[in-house]
Chain A
């Protein structure tokens, strides 16, 4: 089984970090993983996207022509990538800033107001982690505890204070899609 996910949004929203944290936690769970960033003339405020493939077998191509999941952090990302999602796949949308809805009927859409939720929790920059909470629950690729542990490792010891904030943000997203 191979699961491919595209994370997409503005540069600065932590889109690449969403991808690396998923790849890293899937690796520690023992999966084969690849992570491929969009590279070149990328900048803060511009567009950013990355693709993560997780599989129990060798991964041929790190490119996702038909991803199973699409995580949309801003509006342009939805228009760019929605048609690529495989039929039966899922789109997770940051509904705080994305006003449009996918035009497709053959996919499942989840609306998570992750920017607003992060703001309420006291740190707007954790919107990506709120979204990861929802994503981890919906995708079931990695158990939440493994994801959170990996996240702490990535953030490192000098950002220990962030661990609590991230955990709160993650839990908020995780529980939001449960409702």
Chain B
């Protein structure tokens, strides 16, 4: 397979179509417009493909919920402000156990904020911005290649666990072009018994999120909780970079992790033993792996393009076993590897 030079937004669209996504609904917002545009152009060439530019973000999430109930692979996308609007629908899909992919190309917040890359939606993505006891699987790709691979994987996991999954990237990942090789997607495995396509002569099927009887509702909540436990056990992913001899480990994801890698490269050339721990799934968070790491590393530095959100998960994972420092650049600021290297060097020298 040949390498193709594509922007992150287009990569997600192409990966989704290759993975068998046949229903996309979305509403424009910078910096993810190219994804909606890509789906508008290419979905019509996919057999049975439907593209809808909905009247709002709320409509889009409910459209994909409907199509998911009918058994189609579905996707919607937006950026921060639009993802906020979709929360009711995401909660509803989680309750009804409907698989679907929600893409969030993060921008500076809160409110309308700005259109620059940011990582302020971590809490919203990992804690579930909607109401009720639910979780969404959250992938945090760090390159265009990962956007391609993880989008395909997200469809598989959403089907496997019948739950919505999120791709959490930022404006930089969406706009940047990088070479990509698309892998061959696995064939879809999704039993027909979960698809609402008319009962025919068989029994009626129901998909619902309203459970008025507390006995039913409690049972349903525990059923979901057990499912999330299984996901936590089996689906965490992370990357460890140069941690073997590290005295200080940076914890960062997505664009921040790329910048951290650049900074580490500089500092390593000055003989500073620094490594990187990069969560690839933000929920489930690779907490056990990080805790194990604290057996040989005593110092961690969390770097985020926010005021400190993943920081809380790192604290929970390390449970006081190691020292944690934090460096944050919120609101659309993207530091250079050189700037970050200065910050890391200061922390490193204090600890050394």
Contact = CB atoms under 8 A, between A and B. Distances in A.
A59 B145 CA distance: 13
Given A20-B177, A36-B177, 12 more contacts: A20-B5, A27-B3, A27-B179, A34-B178, A35-B176, A39-B115, A60-B259, A60-B260, A60-B337, A61-B336, A65-B336, A65-B338
Interface in B120-176: 171-172, 175-176
Interface in A30-81: 32-37, 39-40, 58-63, 65
B263 A36 contact: no
6 contacts: A27-B3, A33-B5, A35-B177, A39-B31, A61-B258, A61-B259
B261 interface: yes
A60 B258 contact: yes
B178 A33 contact: yes
Interface of A: 20, 23-24, 27, 32-37, 39-40, 58-63, 65
B262 interface: yes
B31 A58 contact: no
Nearest to B259: A61
Nearest to B179: A27
A35 B259 contact: no
A29 B176 CA distance: 19
B265 A62 contact: no
Nearest to A58: B261
A39 B5 contact: no
A33 B179 contact: yes
B60 interface: no
Closest 9 pairs between A and B when the two form their complex, measured CB to CB: A60-B262, A35-B177, A65-B336, A60-B337, A27-B179, A40-B115, A62-B176, A36-B176, A39-B175
B261 A60 contact: yes
Contacts of B259: 60-61
Contacts of B171: 39
Contacts of B7: 35
B30 interface: yes
B41 to A, nearest CB: 15
Contacts of A60: 258-263, 265, 337
A35 B258 CA distance: 15
Among B175, B177, B260, B262, which residue has the most Cβ atoms of chain A within 10 A? B177
B261 A63 contact: no
A35 B4 CA distance: 13
Nearest to B3: A27
Contacts of B338: 65
B195 to A, nearest CB: 39
B334 interface: yes
Contacts of A63: 172, 334, 336
Among A37, A58, A61, which residue has the most Cβ atoms of chain B within 10 A? A61
A61 B178 contact: no
Nearest to B116: A40
Given A61-B262, A65-B336, A35 B5 contact: yes
Given A39-B31, A39-B171, A23 B336 contact: no
Contacts of A23: 5, 177
Nearest to A24: B5
A58 B336 CA distance: 15
Contacts of A35: 5, 7, 176-178
Contacts of A20: 5, 177
Contacts of A39: 30-31, 115, 171, 175
A123 B78 CA distance: 40
Contacts of B176: 34-36, 62
B179 A40 contact: no
Interface in B162-211: 171-172, 175-179
